[in-house]
Structure 1
Amino acid sequence: MCCHMTDSVENNFPNDASAHLTRSKTQLCIAAFAFVLAIHSLLLSAMPLFCQTDSSFIVFDEIVISGNHQLSVKQIKHLFTKRSYSRKEFEHLLGQIADLYRNESRPFVKINARTKESTLSLKIDEGVRLRLDAIYLNVPDSNFHKELVPLLDLRDRSQVAQTVFFNVENLLSYLENHGYPFAQIEIDSLNFQKEQQGKILAIKFFLKISPGQKVYLDEIHISGNNLTKKNVILREARLKIGSLFRQNQISRLPERLMKTGFFTAVGEPKIAIDEKGKGHLLIDVTEGNPNQLNAVIGYTPAATPEEKGYFTGLIDIAFKNLLGTGRVLETYWQKKDRHSQELRFHYVERWAFGYPVHAGFGFEQTIRDTTYVRRNIGVDFDVPFSDLLTIHSHFGKESILPDSLGQILFTLPRSNSNLVRIGFTYDSRENPWNPAQGLFYQTRYEFARKKISSLPASITDSTNFAGTFRRDKIEMDAELFVPTFRYQTILCGIHGRQVKSKEEKLSVADLYRLGGTNTLRGYREDEFLGERLAWLNLEYRYLLGPRSRAFLFFDAGYIMRTKEDDNISEQTKFSYGFGFRIETRLGIIGIDYGIGQGRGLAGGLVHIGLMNKF
């Protein structure tokens, strides 16, 4: 595999850098090949004996099998799917029977096959059975010998080839993870001994281990990073210059870097040793466009001559790798209608103070119709415990400022809340943009201490409304991607939301909203309100490219809300339709056409979005 390097990296990286670090498959192949050569002469004498007439076709109605003990008659007859075979087909079939015996460590099986009238007779001589007696290690260093011998696992002595291969792989893995990427294992010699009156042939394996030079990452070379700084890449890869080479860390390196979103491809790492004995690691990356811009503008004309038209729109700007430092800066503004808009700002410092903690702060403001204004300010701390698991926390302050209409219609009080949110994310998707397989799971729990600072004039008795109350929120999102055929996968997404409060009446500002592009397609954005929501997204996707797909979908939703008279209202809604995501020079264009429950084909809604990467 060739490696594309800049001139500076190319000059510093040794020319003989040819050891690719996916796994020491070369060494494993050498060991396996040596094993095949060692027993090849034995297997020559183990070829099945086919005694058959010279006819070109073998035809029979009945099968009689004798001499079999290791395999049952049912196992052997199961291979015969028809009653007429050409000579070539028949010899292949008998070879399959011999393979079954070899898998049971009986490589010396002989099969005598004859046909008489309409009966096929198979007389089987199973031969001796191989058994792994011992594995001895020839290691140049006695300390190595003490480390490696306890790693041997000989519990399954009947499966000779599989057990030897497993132990060779286990030994190589240990060496690779302790600084020896060029370790080699060869079969030095074999010893055979018959046991139990010649029924078992015990084999002793003598393995020669050459660990090679112990390698440290004295130099780490990175090519292709035109924007992202080298220290950021090493930090995300969790590599340190001068550290001991460990294969398990190097194997996870491409996946770790891909999950940052900074790159579209990460090449297979390569290791080499220069003439001074120093270890050099090369990482080849292809940078993508981690920053994004979403922009939509619309105009709603006046419904009557007395009214004026108004503009709607969305601007979503996100710098996911600010100036190549890995920092995140996000701004979001959306005006949904004449009286509603959202504003968000968020900043994240990855690896704050050199530790694996992502610290951030943000501000949010939501103007909902002419009923209330919500503001939220807070700080976030995310801790990636592993490549798959991240712990989240948020500490913030929220305020609800009701308008006069909100006080009249919904008796909204003015309130301030101190809140704490904790949760975790598990993400095993191989491609967050267009996953073909994997699981994404996220759950969050929010605890808030809500203080009512003033009540609407319509509330004359403040006994049950004023004061400080506890409010709890629970949120869950799970998405499972199951591959079916090539370039095709099924998405099953399950989501849930619930809010509880000790207030006499749950505020409309605390309710969750359902409907629209990201939840229940085929319905207007935020069409439904509820204190308990659940929705299901099913999609059958055909992956058109790394970031493009076409799909059919079915969505279902559940909404529960306590009404003014304390009665509980429950609704279930569903929708279906199709959509696609296409990557273009302008960005990723997304169009979903959803048909809501009972709305008919002509009553479907089109959801359009554009995400531009820059």
Structure 2
Amino acid sequence: MQKTLRIVLIIYIFFSQEGFCQNLILNVNGQSEDETVIISNLQYQKTHKDFESIRLEVDSIQNQLFKIGYIENRASKITRINDSTFVTKINLKNRYDTIHIYYNNVQIDQVTLKALSKEVNEDYFVLSFNEVAKALRFINSEISKKGLPFSKVSLSSITAKNATTLKANLFIDVSNNKRTINNIVIRGYDKFPKSYIKHFLKIKPKQVFDLKAIKTKSEQLNNLNFANEVRPPEVLFSKDSTTLYMYLEKSKSNNFDGFLGFGTNEDTNQLEFDGYLNLILTNNLNFGESFRLLYKSDENDQKTFETNATLPYLFNTPIGIDLQLRIFKKDSSFTTVNQALRLHYQINSKHKILSGIVSTESNNLLNDNSSFAISDYKTQHYTIAYQFLKRQSSILLFPVKESLYIEVGIGERKTTTTKENQSQYSLDALKIFDLNKTNSIFIRANGSHLNSKSYFENELLRFGGINSIRGFEENSLFANLFGVLNTEYRYTLSNSLYIHSIIDAGYFENEVLKTKEKLFGYGFGFGILTKAGLLKFNYANGKNENTRFKLSNSKIHISLTANF
């Protein structure tokens, strides 16, 4: 009998949840039906595991009522009416809708208060009661921006002004001394160029301390390709100084980019190859500098050699310099040499303005002078440009989210017998529109216009290929005016693989040949992140407006971008 009793007891203990885990029910009523409805609309938790949970829930309900203006609400004793049900009654009393807050105009100005209230008087301002907590946080934040991180803001002497309005005094404790940044310490990347702290992030010693602003500025390091922020900045306060610690790491910023293209020649029906090498070295001297070397050879017997150097923040000033040398050779027809010098000013982490001079010299290599469209000339253009760049360094497949480059140049062209005024306008813009985590649309627009009374073939703009309108040979198109729109629908299969469509459109005018044409490119491609770098494959077919689609005109472009 005792054995049977023990078994029954064990079964009851382990399987009877109701006996030991009974849910308790809380009902909260008001003094009237209307008050009960107001309390019910708070959607409080009715089911609880023990009495302590019920008591905390009643406190929470009273706090919610306080925030919406029932600051005088009172709760009666919690009463148990049966084994599982508890009830309490809350008297809401009067509801206050607004509050008049009296302030000291020496401690806070009306400009700050007008950002919070539409009614600001000389000695008080008016707020809705439910905006008080948010307003106090805002005021405290504004005071902290003035170098007072330990300030305290609160309301005192809260009393009723009438049945719906309260009045109170704004108390601001700013007894601590005003803080400025005395020292900036870089941890993790000790050789990080200090000029970027001063001019790129706009953080300087003796600057008024504002931690929120500093954290916002430090996030702009994500727009650099040679350094990353490891963790948010930290501050060490001592009696007489404020030290800011920034935690950075050096990232791989050197870039090797190349591609191989091949297609069938329309005249010979033979397979032809073209390609290029693009090497970018960044911050190898820990100065933030960059150097670019480009060599391109394409199937039209055209060769391009180009070097660029950028030196930012010369002599610890916000001014930098850009240098460029470009040599272009068209078979045995002509050579063109471009030299450019630009000064740039980095407005902030994303915006930059540039101004400089671009000189060009071209020589006719045809001894018989059979082509009157090719001529020796020299040009000199004064340029001004604007650049916007927004990176997303955490997404390796698409490191650039948005970019915009606009340049205007005005100058003149000289030959042995003539002198002519010219102007040139260039635009290059791209943006990625994220539809969701896996689907996005890429759009890029670029174009240029050389404005002149007359034109030589060897000064025309050249475009076409993987970095322009796809489905055409590299630099096979030349014009005095062109515009290209590239679009891709991208589907990301993983963090290292995506596929995309290709729909390109273009328009160009060639005053030398007296032609105006519309161009179209269609195809598909994919990108895959390998150990060697980002490998891109594009298959595209290009056609003119008045030509038929031919599969034999298709081009395959393969490029590899490696960071090291």
TM-score, scaled relative to structure 2: 0.73
Moved more, 399-408 or 592-601: 592-601
1: CA distance, partners of 2:324 / 2:418: 28
Q: Please tell me whether residue 131 in structure 1 is matched to residue 94 in structure 2.
A: no
1: CA distance, partners of 2:340 / 2:38: 80
1: CA distance, partners of 2:107 / 2:526: 57
1: CA distance, partners of 2:285 / 2:500: 36
* Structure-2 change in CA distance of 1:441 and 1:161 (3 Å): farther
* Residue 168 of structure 1: aligned partner: 136
**For each residue in 1:570-611, what CA deviation from the matched residue of structure 2 results, as whole angstroms up to 9, or x when unmatched?**
222222333333333212222222233454667532221112
Q: Please tell me whether residue 604 in structure 1 is matched to residue 548 in structure 2.
A: no
Kindly state the Cα deviation for residue 561 of structure 1 after the two structures are TM-superposed: 2.2
The SS at the match of 1:49 is helix
Do 2:222 and 2:391's aligned partners in 1 also have CA atoms closer than 8 Å?
Answer: no
2: CA distance, partners of 1:554 / 1:538: 5
2: CA distance, partners of 1:389 / 1:551: 30
Do 1:188 and 1:208's aligned partners in 2 also have CA atoms closer than 8 Å?
Answer: yes
- The equivalent position to 2:376 in structure 1, one of 407, 414, 417, is 414
2: CA distance, partners of 1:299 / 1:494: 25
- The equivalent position to 1:577 in structure 2, one of 523, 533, 537, is 523
Do 2:325 and 2:339's aligned partners in 1 also have CA atoms closer than 8 Å?
Answer: yes
**For each residue in 1:351-373, what CA deviation from the matched residue of structure 2 results, as whole angstroms up to 9, or x when unmatched?**
11221111132211011232210
* Residue 313 of structure 2: aligned partner: 351
Kindly state the Cα deviation for residue 396 of structure 1 after the two structures are TM-superposed: 2.6
TM-score, scaled relative to structure 1: 0.68
- The equivalent position to 2:241 in structure 1, one of 278, 303, 319, is 278
Correspondences of 1:115-154 after superposition (within 5 Å): 130-137=96-103, 143-145=106-108, 153-154=116-117
**For each residue in 1:308-360, what CA deviation from the matched residue of structure 2 results, as whole angstroms up to 9, or x when unmatched?**
x9996533222221311112222222222483211112222211122111113
* Residue 158 of structure 2: aligned partner: 190
Kindly state the Cα deviation for residue 444 of structure 1 after the two structures are TM-superposed: 0.9
* Residue 475 of structure 1: aligned partner: 426
The letter for the 2-side match of 1:492 is I
Kindly state the Cα deviation for residue 150 of structure 1 after the two structures are TM-superposed: 5.2
- Aligned-residue Cα RMSD (Å) equals 4.3
1: CA distance, partners of 2:126 / 2:34: 18
**For each residue in 1:505-540, what CA deviation from the matched residue of structure 2 results, as whole angstroms up to 9, or x when unmatched?**
x11122222321112112221232222211212223
The letter for the 1-side match of 2:524 is F
* Structure-2 change in CA distance of 1:600 and 1:107 (3 Å): farther
Q: Please tell me whether residue 518 in structure 1 is matched to residue 467 in structure 2.
A: yes
1: CA distance, partners of 2:134 / 2:180: 27
Kindly state the Cα deviation for residue 423 of structure 1 after the two structures are TM-superposed: 1.5
Moved more, 539-548 or 586-595: 539-548
- The equivalent position to 2:410 in structure 1, one of 447, 450, 455, is 447
Kindly state the Cα deviation for residue 469 of structure 1 after the two structures are TM-superposed: 0.8
Q: Please tell me whether residue 49 in structure 1 is matched to residue 49 in structure 2.
A: no
* Residue 236 of structure 1: aligned partner: 200
Q: Please tell me whether residue 404 in structure 1 is matched to residue 366 in structure 2.
A: yes
For structure 2, the 5+ residue unaligned runs are: 1-28, 41-45, 48-64, 72-91, 120-124
Do 1:266 and 1:285's aligned partners in 2 also have CA atoms closer than 8 Å?
Answer: yes
1: CA distance, partners of 2:181 / 2:411: 49
The SS at the match of 2:107 is helix
2: CA distance, partners of 1:544 / 1:420: 47
Length, aligned pairs only: 482
**For each residue in 1:387-430, what CA deviation from the matched residue of structure 2 results, as whole angstroms up to 9, or x when unmatched?**
43311122132101111179423531111111212121233555
**For each residue in 1:247-291, what CA deviation from the matched residue of structure 2 results, as whole angstroms up to 9, or x when unmatched?**
4641332343222211244522222313x3421212112321111
Correspondences of 1:170-569 after superposition (within 5 Å): 170-188=138-156, 190-195=158-163, 201-211=164-174, 212-225=176-189, 228-230=192-194, 232-247=196-211, 249-274=213-238, 276-295=239-258, 314-337=276-299, 339-404=301-366, 407-428=369-390, 430-431=392-393, 439-453=402-416, 466-503=417-454, 506-542=455-491, 549-562=498-511, 564=513, 568-569=514-515
**For each residue in 1:433-461, what CA deviation from the matched residue of structure 2 results, as whole angstroms up to 9, or x when unmatched?**
766996432211112311112xxxxxxxx
The SS at the match of 1:154 is coil
The letter for the 2-side match of 1:596 is G
Kindly state the Cα deviation for residue 557 of structure 1 after the two structures are TM-superposed: 0.9
The SS at the match of 2:332 is coil
2: CA distance, partners of 1:572 / 1:406: 34
The letter for the 2-side match of 1:135 is I
* Structure-2 change in CA distance of 1:507 and 1:128 (3 Å): farther
Identity of aligned residues (%): 18
* Residue 34 of structure 1: aligned partner: none
* Residue 4 of structure 2: aligned partner: none
* Structure-2 change in CA distance of 1:478 and 1:150 (3 Å): same
Correspondences of 1:22-37 after superposition (within 5 Å): none
Do 1:469 and 1:501's aligned partners in 2 also have CA atoms closer than 8 Å?
Answer: yes
1: CA distance, partners of 2:260 / 2:431: 34
